[in-house]
């Protein structure tokens, strides 16, 4: 898929008076993928070289926290660091509930979500996702090559969403294309994709209102918070989050895993020989290949670790840097199946910790189990280098594999 990157942020934000000169750096998160190894760049050029917390004039001007301790502490302090704005630059995605609410209101809405994610609710999704994965892989096998993101990684999470929401599987292709674009606010076409997804969900809500079922949308339409039924806008916002939260995230994580395996044949061989190690591999991939670079909005003038933050400042939390911080994980750039403990924030911590974590990990496991048993050793296709980007998420745009 062709995208043109919007570099419209040429005008850098002026430095606010409360930001000290020695904490200003010319850092643009969209450039972290330029070297082709986005995790190494974040680790070695950002975490290891830049201050623990610094300010950059890019993307509207924002702080960046680079070390695990701060990225974790800030997530656990929603009173000072609000989720009201969680994307940098701010204001470019529609409101998502409960992601953009803070406790205590957040807690009431989040509770409504949890029944959709308990393990037994995931059994159907897992079976369907596995069946689709097998079908896709068997179709790809004779070709000897594929563009992994479009041909495989993007498909399984959409099947999961459609199954969870009791929606027709015919909608798969349309959703896949729109969701990929929508999740990349730095790309042209993102705004239109959000509109298309919104129209799709509003149609679904109207249909469930007319004819309720046993699906999550019908359940949300019946639910109450503080004794009041949710509005259509609230239900819309929650559905949009269920849709977008689990699509490109899973697709891109599976993409990073496939890229890692394609460039580490010895790990492929080890997992083929001993598939019982796949769950450990999933845990290690989750630590080593995190993706989300999320923001927080400062709610009041306050000092944090000696830095004077002002109300309305934005701070970027690159979640992958928790797993890559050697103050928490020994030799963090090494992939080690036998780590005795792992620390990461790939799925967030604190009130907003990802409810889709178990589902996402099951999808990664299904991918590894089915791909490694059904296909011979694979590698990057010669002459077709992978394409990575870095913004709201570190992402794999294109990954050509051959076998
Ligand atoms: C590898 C895949 C995934 C990653 C890396 C991921 C990452 C995250 C992160 C970091 C957060 C916390 C956001 C914050 O603190 O501001 C989050 C929240 C959330 N995720 Fe995921 N996620 C993944 C898969 C999924 C899936 C499969 C679903 C659902 C189908 C999902 C639904 C959600 C929802 C609803 C929230 C908001 C929770 C709240 O605000 O209380 N995610 N996710």
68 occurs within a structural domain: yes
- pLDDT category at 190 given cuts 50, 70, 90 is confident
pLDDT of residue 197: 87
**Rounded mean pLDDT of 116-143?**
92
Distance from Cα 358 to the centre of ligand 1, integer Å: 11
Once rounded to an integer, what is the mean pLDDT over residues 261-265? 98
Which of 234, 249, 315, 351 is the best mutation target for the ligand 1 pocket, counting ligand atoms within 8 Å of the beta carbon and taking the most? 249
Residue 2 has pLDDT above 50, yes or no: no
Task: Tell me what pLDDT residue 179 has.
Answer: 75
Our separate counts of H helices and E strands in the chain read 15, 14
Q: What mean pLDDT do residues 214-242 have?
A: 92
Mutate to test the pocket of ligand 1, among 320, 356, 361, 365 (most ligand atoms within 8 A of CB): 356
Mean pLDDT of 162-181: 86
- Percentage of the chain exceeding pLDDT 70: 96
Instruction: Please determine, for residue 98, whether its predicted confidence score (pLDDT) is greater than 50.
Output: yes
Ligand 1 centre to CA of 320 (Å) is 14
Give the whole-angstrom CA distance, residue 134 versus residue 138: 6
pLDDT of residue 7: 45
pLDDT band at 184 (very low <50, low <70, confident <90, very high): low
Render pLDDT for 342-382 as a digit per residue (tens, 0 to 9). 999 999 999 999 999 999 999 999 999 999 999 999 999 99
Mean pLDDT across the chain: 92
Among the listed residues 202, 157, 200, the one whose alpha carbon sits nearest the alpha carbon of residue 180: 157
Q: State whether the Cα torsion 136-250-288-384 is positive or negative.
A: positive
Q: How many independent structural domains does the chain possess?
A: 1
Task: CATH number of the domain at 229, please.
Answer: 1.10.630.10
Minimal CA–CA distance to 90: which of 52, 135, 48, 59?
59
- Per DSSP, the three-state class of 394 is strand
Cβ(99)–Cβ(83) below 8 Å:
yes
Q: Which two tokens stand for residue 51?
A: 């201050």
In the prediction, which pLDDT does 5 show?
Answer: 41
262 Cα: distance to centroid of ligand 1 (angstroms):
27
Do 364 and 106 touch, CB atoms closer than 8 A?
no
CA 172 – CA 178 distance, rounded (Å): 10
Residue with CA at minimum distance from ligand 1 atom 36: 354
The pLDDT of residue 320 is: 98
- Domain with 189, as residue range(s), is 21-375+387-402
Cα angle 163, 121, 245; round to 5: 60
Which tokens sit at 74? 């800030």
- The residue with tokens 């643009």 is 28
CA dihedral 142, 261, 345, 51 (to 10 degrees): -130
Question: What one-character-per-residue DSSP string does 292-312 give?
Answer: BEEEEEE-S-EEETTEEE-TT
Q: What is the mean pLDDT of residues 309-314?
A: 98
Q: Is 48 within the bounds of a domain? A: yes
Residue 13 lies in a domain: no
4 assigned to some structural domain: no
Q: How far is the CA of 267 from the centre of ligand 1 (A)?
A: 28
> Does residue 2 form part of some domain?
no
Q: Is residue 10 part of a domain?
A: no
172's tokens = 């798969």
- Which of 221-235, 261-275, 276-290, 326-340 is predicted with the least confidence, judged by mean pLDDT? 221-235
Distance 365 CA to ligand 1 centre (A): 18
- CA–CA gap between residue 168 and residue 171 (Å, rounded): 6
Mutate to test the pocket of ligand 1, among 111, 162, 239, 245 (most ligand atoms within 8 A of CB): 245
Domain assignment present for 92: yes
pLDDT tens digits, one per residue of 15-45: 999 999 999 999 999 999 999 999 999 999 9
- Residue 4's pLDDT band (cuts 50, 70, 90): very low
- For the stretch 143-155, pLDDT in tens is 999 999 989 998 8
Q: In Å, what is the CA distance from 128 to each residue of 111, 136, 151, 155?
A: 26, 12, 17, 12
Ligand 1 center–CA 348 separation, angstroms: 8
Would you say residue 297 lies in a domain? yes
Average pLDDT over residues 231-247: 88
How far does the centroid of ligand 1 lie from the alpha carbon of residue 244, in Å? Answer: 9
CA of 355 to the centre of ligand 1 (A): 6
- Helix H, strand E, coil C: the string for 51-117 is CCEEEECHHHCEEEECCHHHHHHHHCCCCCEECCCCCCCCCCCCCCCCCCCCCCHHHHHHHHHHHHH
Locate 313 and state its tokens. 């400042």
CA of 360 to the centre of ligand 1 (A): 9
Kindly state the average pLDDT of the residues 161-182.
85
Say if CB 162 and CB 200 are below 8 A apart.
no
pLDDT for the residue 10: 58
177 confidence band (pLDDT: 50, 70, 90): confident
More confident position, 170 or 186? 170
Pick the atom of ligand 1 nearest to 75's CA: 15
Residue 113: the pLDDT is 85
| Residues with a CB atom less than 6 Å from ligand 1 | 75, 83, 86, 98-99, 110, 113, 241-242, 245-246, 249-250, 253, 291-292, 294, 319, 346-348, 352, 354-356, 359-360
Residue nearest to ligand 1 atom 27, measured at CA: 246
- Compute the Cα dihedral for 33, 36, 39, 43 and give only its sign: negative
CA torsion sign, 296 to 285 to 360 to 30?
A: positive
Q: Which residue carries 């002026």 as its tokens? A: 14
């Amino acid at each position: 898929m062709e995208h043109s990157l919007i570099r419209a942020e040429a005008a850098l934000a002026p430095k606010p008076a409360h930001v000290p000169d020695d904490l200003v750096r010319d850092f643009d998160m969209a450039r972290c993928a330029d070297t082709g190894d986005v995790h190494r760049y974040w680790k070695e050029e950002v975490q290891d070289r830049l201050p623990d917390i610094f300010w950059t004039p890019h993307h509207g001007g924002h702080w960046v926290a680079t070390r695990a301790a701060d990225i974790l502490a800030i997530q656990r302090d929603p009173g000072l660091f609000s989720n009201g704005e969680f994307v940098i630059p701010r204001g470019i995605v529609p409101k998502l509930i409960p992601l953009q609410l803070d406790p205590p209101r957040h807690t009431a809405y989040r509770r409504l979500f949890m029944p959709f994610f308990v393990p037994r609710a995931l059994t159907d999704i897992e079976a369907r996702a596995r069946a689709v994965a097998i079908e896709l892989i068997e179709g790809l096998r004779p070709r000897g090559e594929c563009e992994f993101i479009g041909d495989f990684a993007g498909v399984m999470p959409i099947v999961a969403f459609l199954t969870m929401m009791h929606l027709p599987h015919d909608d798969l292709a349309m959703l896949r294309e729109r969701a990929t674009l929508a999740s990349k606010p730095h790309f042209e076409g993102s705004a239109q994709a959000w509109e298309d997804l919104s129209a799709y969900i509003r149609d679904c809500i109207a249909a469930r209102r007319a004819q309720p079922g046993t699906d999550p949308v019908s359940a949300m339409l019946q639910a109450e918070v503080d004794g009041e039924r949710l509005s259509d806008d609230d239900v819309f916002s929650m559905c949009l989050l269920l849709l977008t939260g689990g699509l490109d995230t899973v697709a891109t994580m599976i993409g990073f895993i496939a890229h890692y395996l394609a460039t580490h044949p010895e790990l492929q061989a080890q997992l083929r020989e001993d598939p019982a190690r796949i769950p450990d591999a999933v845990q290690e991939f989750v630590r080593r290949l995190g993706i989300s670079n999320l923001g927080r909005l400062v709610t009041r003038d306050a000092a944090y670790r000696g830095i004077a933050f002002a109300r309305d400042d934005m701070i970027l939390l690159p979640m992958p840097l928790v797993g890559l911080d050697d103050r928490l994980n020994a030799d963090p750039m090494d992939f080690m199946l036998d780590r005795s403990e792992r620390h990461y924030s790939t799925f967030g911590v604190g009130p907003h910790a990802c409810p889709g974590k178990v589902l996402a990990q099951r999808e990664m496991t299904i991918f590894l189990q089915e791909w490694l048993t059904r296909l011979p050793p694979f590698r990057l296709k010669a002459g077709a280098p992978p394409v990575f980007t870095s913004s709201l998420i570190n992402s794999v745009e294109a990954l050509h594999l051959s076998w």
